[in-house]
Structure 1
Amino acid sequence: MTILVDKIRISGFRGIRNIEIDLPRIAVLIGLNNAGKTSVVKAFQLALGDYSRYLSEEDFYLDENDKPFSEITVDIRIVPVNKGDERVPLFEEEWIDFLGDKVQADNNEKQFSVIRTVCSHDLIRGGFSVLRYSLDTWPPFTNWNNAKVNQKKKIRTNLQSLPYFSIDAQRDLHSELKEKNSFVGKILSNIKYNDEDKSALEEIISDLNNEALKKSQPLAKLKTHLEKLNQSFVNSGKAEITPFPKKIRDLSKQFTVHFGENDNNLFSMEYHGMGTRSWASLLTVKAFTELTSEKFAEEEEAYYPIVAAEEPEAHLHPNAQRTLYKQLVESQGQVIITTHSPYIVALADQSELRLLTSNDSDIEVRQLSNNMVIPPKNNGCQT
């Protein structure tokens, strides 16, 4: 058994006045440009991730008089589910340990947990205040955002077991290799070796550097001239040339990714098109979530990642889009996809589709009913 964020409610955020979305494990958000798909993704990030540091005045909904809402409110409901993602009455023990007093039960004795995020202007310090609370109920949708919060149930800790990973539509693995805060950068920063392996590897690198120097006349000549630096010092000096990183800790600084059809046809990512680089970037997120999951498993702690991928089809051929979609839905945890691709929509189950539409004053969401019967197509000729 595991969990599921089965509902999200958003009020006062960007173009969203007030909506509720039912969420399956795989949710595919579709709709025209500016229909609110990215707003839903960012609202989720506000509730569980790090979007709060990017908040701006433009994130507050403007009413019909161009007056901004005073607050942004995002509620998510967490429920226990079985392996088939069907709701069950009770959380597993590891989730009880994580959620603690945030666990509630409805009239049918089914457990749930509600986390509310409230964003407002900080009148004292300036900027914005972002607070999270645990709610005792999942209130009816009518005036849900006006339900009072219990100040004693303020959430002061990070929700580490429920991480949210947002993957922007603009992504490029080659560029991300240089960024410490990217997902591939975080993987590289976690590279660790024990002392014995570290010494053995650095000895191999030392031998490799010496061999490279011996077999290269230009490098040998450069070393000879650089060692003349000692003529300017009281103590003799020594110049060392290392074509390859001398220390294990420096390996990540020259880390590169090569890709090709076979061993004789490998090229650095910088020589590949944006489709391959974008795809590779998405797969690094999947690798990062799996590595993190293994760490939590070692500590016997609950872990359920939520990954949101915006326009995964970018720059990809239809066949590649289909392959990437299958890779995404096989990810551990919950997956939210925004897309304009008919190929991805065709692969998704109809129950996973959420259509967002924008009118003059709000954003609405539609979905097919679970018990909807689709009539068979008319194969006859029309006249």
Structure 2
Amino acid sequence: MRIRNFRGVQSADIRLDGHTLLVGGNSVGKSTICDALDLALGPERMFRRPVVDEYDFHSAAYLPSDEGARPEIHIEVVLVDLSDTATLRFGAHLRKWDVESNDFADVEADAIDEADTRPWCLPIVFFGRFNPAEDDFEGGTFFAHPVPISDDLTAEIADLGGGRRSFTREDKRYSGYLYLRPNRTGSRALSLQRGSLLDTIIRLESDTEVTLWEKLRSDLADVALVAKDSKLEKILGQVKSRVSQFVSLGGASDDVQLHASELTRENIREVLRVFISNKPGAFAVPFGRLSTGSLNLVVFALLTYIAELRGDTSVIFAMEEPEIAIPPHAQRRLVDFVTTHMGQAIVTSHSPYVIERFEPENIVVLRRDDDGLLGSGPITLPVDFKLKRYRENRRQFAEAILARAVLVVEGATEASLIPVAADVMEADPALKYTHIDLAGVSVFDAGNDVSVPLYAPLFRSLGKPVYGMHDTPSQPLKADIAAKGQDFTEYKVIPYSGVEDLLITEMPASTKRRFLEKAPERPDYPSDCGSLAPSASDQDVDALLRDVLRHRKGAYYGYAAALVAEAEGATELPASIVSLLGLIDQQLTAEPASPAVDHASDPGEGS
């Protein structure tokens, strides 16, 4: 797909090949991509008025220029793997697609050999603009091929779409685009308003919509709302009596009635609501009163119903941030369902539980610069990087993919104490420091010192600053492994054989004493280590601390992190860690916006 002049995106070319996970920082453009697809493909999107507004234009520039040129939103989409029905329906508008070059096979439209076995594709384009003559916005989707030939006799070329044939609401149903929005669809999903999910289901399921609405209207008219001999009946009788003095009534006993609706189709659509009861409890409430998580799941269930009615394999299912108010097991179930049952799933997420369900080649990383240039690219593992290593560290990779920068350390102990050191540095009033969590730095446990350099090329290829730190290895790293360390933005080999030596050597005795005085109170304190004597020398402190840390090594016990937490300021932290964290903070603070990756080949006409 290609996006031009839409919201924060001035220009973007994006390839969504099969099931795709879109990842990137907040406001990078994930929602913009899904909304752009909705404008181009969503059958119900045109029910919204206006179709676009001022802030759908890049930098809100929607007014004609002094030269008279009108800014336009362009969203071009190329659909492949069409169903036989769609191929037959859209035959006059199809072109051949070359998968290898990711471009049209017929560079000159229609100049194609009949024996060409490459697949057909359907290029379509959405245009949106402001019409000064009507003082309103207009928008519509059109077949991108063939492009009308302009001549002096073709006045319609100046119209929206330039004379192209409209890609109608009925046509859009063959593209099968469904869009699950976070916390936005739920407000009307189970209403009967035009374009709602329930309205869509009724139209897909029923060939007798007219009869359905007339039955609803007549049934509501027959509902008796006023009980016989009730106070309300007496009031209505008095109303009738007084009105009849000035207005000629029909003369029937029910000249003045009470109904639950105006009994028009549009009013019925507005007032009817579905009620749902869910556990715990059994009392039905309007669907909008359900919890956020339950409401999201209800909307998801409706979308799967629509997908089934349309035929799952022809459905393009976009799902934005399914993790909102949904527990991890439900997140995994949702993702597994759509990737198993739908023809194509396009998912945006900040959840590692969602990200870990996708293989690297199905994850598209987005980056956008200050000029609105949106770049995208898949995660490509280095040639010598084993897929097994990726799969064994899926959760860590998921967090690193979402991060602004990555700090690779050699073990769980280091990974647990780095954030604690950042806590101390952030709390130190004498230090100007941004916590790594706030700066968007993910701490990645490589497992051992030899593995630390292996991750540098991978994270560097994602356009992220990547930092590395490990102890001095017992043997020098092999040349090929050491060479990978050149991809680190900063690479620190601390001059100790282990993290315990680092902590003991670079932390002051007073801090170590405070820790050892409190440590025996912990329920998991090693009983054979003994406790610190009041008269213990600094050498005794170091010896006991080394013994305790050796017995309780690793992140599970958290002893090294607890020691670091005893520091009352940056001056009591290990200098090696403070210098590295300070350098990371300094570089990220000064770092400009990440440049966008190169665009893919031109995907369509009409640009």
TM-score range, shorter chain: 0.5 to 0.7
Which whole-Å CA distance do the structure 2 matches of 1:315 and 1:183 have between them?
22
| Inter-CA distance 369–213: structure 2 relative to 1 (3 Å threshold) | same
Cα contact 1:121–1:128 (8 A) shared by 2: yes
| TM-fit CA distance, 1:284 | 2.5
| TM-fit CA distance, 1:23 | 1.4
Cα contact 1:29–1:355 (8 A) shared by 2: yes
Which whole-Å CA distance do the structure 2 matches of 1:174 and 1:166 have between them?
14
Q: Summarize the alignment of residues 238-317 of structure 1 with structure 2, pairs less than 5 Å apart.
A: 238=254, 253-261=271-279, 264=282, 267-291=285-309, 293=310, 304-317=314-327
Deviations 1:27-66 (CA, angstroms, capped at 9, x unpaired): 2111101111122122223333447821436523699xxx
The farther-off stretch of 343-352 and 121-130 is 121-130
Letter paired with 1:96: T
**1:162 — aligned with what?**
175
* Residues 1:53 and 2:51 aligned together: yes
Cα contact 2:188–2:196 (8 A) shared by 1: no
* Residues 1:325 and 2:335 aligned together: yes
Letter paired with 1:54: V
**2:566 — aligned with what?**
none
**2:253 — aligned with what?**
237
Secondary structure at 1:54's aligned position in 2?
Answer: coil
Cα contact 2:40–2:141 (8 A) shared by 1: no
Which whole-Å CA distance do the structure 2 matches of 1:262 and 1:239 have between them?
46
Letter paired with 2:199: K
**1:116 — aligned with what?**
125
Deviations 1:84-128 (CA, angstroms, capped at 9, x unpaired): xxxxxxx65422322121122336531223223445565765656
Which whole-Å CA distance do the structure 2 matches of 1:166 and 1:321 have between them?
16
Which whole-Å CA distance do the structure 1 matches of 2:297 and 2:76 have between them?
31
Cα contact 2:130–2:138 (8 A) shared by 1: yes
TM-score after normalising by structure 2: 0.45
Cα contact 2:365–2:379 (8 A) shared by 1: no
| TM-fit CA distance, 1:237 | 1.5
Q: Which has the higher contact order (CA 8 A, sep 6+)?
A: 1
Q: Tell me which structure has the larger Cα radius of gyration.
A: 2
Cα contact 2:52–2:138 (8 A) shared by 1: no
Task: Determine which of 377, 384, 401 is the counterpart of 1:366.
Answer: 377
Cα contact 1:306–1:334 (8 A) shared by 2: yes
Deviations 1:109-162 (CA, angstroms, capped at 9, x unpaired): 31223223445565765656656343469xxxxxxxxxxxxx998222413322
| TM-fit CA distance, 1:316 | 1.8
Cα contact 1:355–1:366 (8 A) shared by 2: yes
**1:350 — aligned with what?**
360
Secondary structure at 1:24's aligned position in 2?
Answer: coil
Secondary structure at 1:282's aligned position in 2?
Answer: helix
Secondary structure at 1:45's aligned position in 2?
Answer: helix
Letter paired with 1:75: E
**2:186 — aligned with what?**
173
The farther-off stretch of 373-382 and 178-187 is 373-382
Cα contact 1:29–1:336 (8 A) shared by 2: yes
| TM-fit CA distance, 1:14 | 3.2
Cα contact 2:192–2:273 (8 A) shared by 1: no
Letter paired with 1:78: L
Deviations 1:290-320 (CA, angstroms, capped at 9, x unpaired): 44x27xx9xxxxx944332322222222222
**2:101 — aligned with what?**
none
| TM-fit CA distance, 1:187 | 4.5
| Inter-CA distance 263–182: structure 2 relative to 1 (3 Å threshold) | farther
Query: Taking every aligned residue pair, what percent have the same amino acid on both sides?
Result: 17
* Residues 1:16 and 2:32 aligned together: no
| Inter-CA distance 12–322: structure 2 relative to 1 (3 Å threshold) | same
TM-score after normalising by structure 1: 0.66
Deviations 1:241-281 (CA, angstroms, capped at 9, x unpaired): 99999x9x898744322131378465543543222123222
**1:183 — aligned with what?**
196
**1:73 — aligned with what?**
74
Secondary structure at 2:193's aligned position in 1?
Answer: coil
Which whole-Å CA distance do the structure 2 matches of 1:193 and 1:75 have between them?
34
In structure 2, list runs of 5 or more residues that go unmatched.
Answer: 97-104, 106-111, 148-160, 393-445, 450-470, 472-607
More strand by share: 1
| Inter-CA distance 125–187: structure 2 relative to 1 (3 Å threshold) | closer
Which whole-Å CA distance do the structure 2 matches of 1:320 and 1:285 have between them?
16
Cα contact 2:368–2:375 (8 A) shared by 1: yes
Cα contact 1:183–1:288 (8 A) shared by 2: no
Secondary structure at 1:22's aligned position in 2?
Answer: coil
In structure 1, list runs of 5 or more residues that go unmatched.
Answer: 1-7, 81-90, 138-150, 298-302
| Inter-CA distance 241–374: structure 2 relative to 1 (3 Å threshold) | farther
Cα contact 2:273–2:287 (8 A) shared by 1: no
Letter paired with 2:378: Q
**1:29 — aligned with what?**
22
| Inter-CA distance 78–178: structure 2 relative to 1 (3 Å threshold) | closer
The farther-off stretch of 336-345 and 362-371 is 362-371
Which whole-Å CA distance do the structure 2 matches of 1:56 and 1:21 have between them?
24
| Inter-CA distance 225–321: structure 2 relative to 1 (3 Å threshold) | same
Secondary structure at 1:314's aligned position in 2?
Answer: coil
**1:98 — aligned with what?**
89
| Inter-CA distance 239–274: structure 2 relative to 1 (3 Å threshold) | farther
Secondary structure at 1:329's aligned position in 2?
Answer: helix
Secondary structure at 1:354's aligned position in 2?
Answer: strand
| Inter-CA distance 56–172: structure 2 relative to 1 (3 Å threshold) | closer
Which whole-Å CA distance do the structure 2 matches of 1:123 and 1:231 have between them?
54
Secondary structure at 2:2's aligned position in 1?
Answer: strand
Letter paired with 2:316: I
Secondary structure at 1:53's aligned position in 2?
Answer: coil
